[in-house]
Amino acid sequence: MFEDGGQVRDFVHVDDVALANCLAIEQVSDHPAGVTPYNVASGHPFTIGEMAAVLAKAGGGPEPVVTGEYRAFDVRHVVASPDAAVDGLGFHAEIRPEDGLARLATDPLTTR
């Protein structure tokens, strides 16, 4: 794992992304004159270290290794606000990163 594992991302499960897309399609059907862009985000920061630890534990693997090395041009924190998608689409990410990652580690073909 690069750096110290403290890099923050806003992970959204693919099932939640699919739900957001379905809601957006419905919105276009209801308002064909225009399309509104939305951030599809959970709004809950989750570190790369947390992600790696959840995957390792769920998959029965070893603890993640922190390299301390930095990648050029890597952004330390990337978190989006879901507020517009909540207001405009009624979208809320339902699957917690811990749950989605655990499912990925144990059965990557499992969906809801």
Decide if 65 is inside a domain: yes
Angle at 90 between CA 76 and CA 75, to 5 degrees: 5
Q: What pLDDT sits at residue 19?
A: 96
Domain annotation covers residue 111: no
What's the whole-number mean pLDDT along residues 39-63? 91
Report pLDDT digits (tens) over 59-77: 888 999 998 888 888 889 9
Cα distances (angstroms) measured from residue 53 to each of 10, 32, 105: 16, 44, 11
Report residue 82 CA to chain centroid gap: 12
H/E stretch holding 32: none
Is 112 part of any domain?
no
Please indicate, yes or no, if residue 97 is contained in any of the structural domains: yes
- Whether 93 is in a domain gets the answer yes
* Residue 56 three-state SS: helix
Domain membership of residue 19 (yes or no) is yes
pLDDT, position 110: 62
Indicate the number of domains in the chain.
1
Which residues does residue 9 pair with via DSSP β-bridges, in sequence order?
46, 78
What is the extent of the structural domain holding 66?
Answer: 8-106
Residue 3 lies in a domain: no
Kindly state whether residue 48 falls inside one of the protein's structural domains: yes
pLDDT tens-digit series, residues 72-95: 888 899 999 999 999 999 999 999
Residues β-bridged to residue 47:
8
* Mean of pLDDT over the chain: 88
Please report the pLDDT score of residue 108 as a whole number: 66
Three-state secondary-structure class, residue 63: coil
> Tokens 């924190």 map to which residue?
77
